[in-house]
Amino acid sequence: MGQKVNPKAFRLGVINTWSSRWYGSPRNRSYQHQLRTDVEMREYLMKELKESMVDHVDVERSPSSVSIIIHTAKPGFIIGRSGAGAEELKKKILAKFFPKRTKINVKLNIIEVNRPNLSSQIVLQGMAADLEKRMPFRRVLKMAIERVTKAGAQGIKVMVSGRLNGAEIARREMLSSGSVPLQNLRADIDYAQGFAQTIFGAIGIKVWIYRGEVFDREREKRREEASVKAAQEAKEAKEAEATAEAAK
């Protein structure tokens, strides 16, 4: 029997970290309340910022402040002109989730996703939008695979299920490209699931994207940092020599 496990939850503490980072005591029920608030806040932001292509939302708490970090492909949609959109969103969050806590400080950080085509959540949102426009599902799957492969992914698997193309009997269709090693803990696999609301009913969507092994990426990152550091040291040495020559 195949045991289906969420790839992100499976890798928590190994290569992935938690999206909510705070401490809550179960004695005074603060843990339950804060966890429920986080879940409701994420659902609200994903719905409110649907056109902004939000990848994920992180929440960090301290006793007097809440920091909400929104990773999005279109930060300009959220920030607005001169930051007016971000301020409006902060007011909505305060009014909806912290109405009684007047002294709490809500910080809103908006971070741009560098390569949106390697984010499973953003790819899923694009597929859902296409299916709701009544595009043929097979074409939607092939377009998604092509975009992700061009972005540099090592593998992708997409699955849709429901009344595809308005068929009387619901079924499941899947397409894949490259490798998606779900058992390998060091494999960086981004996973998302959702649905498209069509006139024939809901069509479920699942996306797996294999972005390579974490060890390889860490090695490349260290190599880049070392090269930048070496270039900086060389520049400082040249400036020091020029200063010494000018002093002579």
Domain ranges in the chain with CATH number 3.30.1140.32: 116-215
65-72/105-112 β-pairing = parallel
- Cβ atoms of residues 117 and 55 within 8 Å: no
H-state helical runs in the chain: 7-10, 30-48, 75-79, 84-97, 120-132, 137-150, 214-247
Tens of pLDDT, residues 160-189? 999 998 899 999 999 999 999 998 898 999
Looking at CATH, the fold of the domain delimited by 7-112 is given as GMP Synthetase; Chain A, domain 3 (3.30.300)
| pTM of structure | 0.81
Domain ranges in the chain with CATH number 3.30.300.20: 7-112
Task: Specify the CATH number of the domain 116-215.
Answer: 3.30.1140.32
Tens of pLDDT, residues 79-125? 888 888 889 999 999 888 888 776 788 889 999 988 899 999 999 99
At residue 103's C-alpha, the angle toward residues 102 and 109, to 5°, is 100
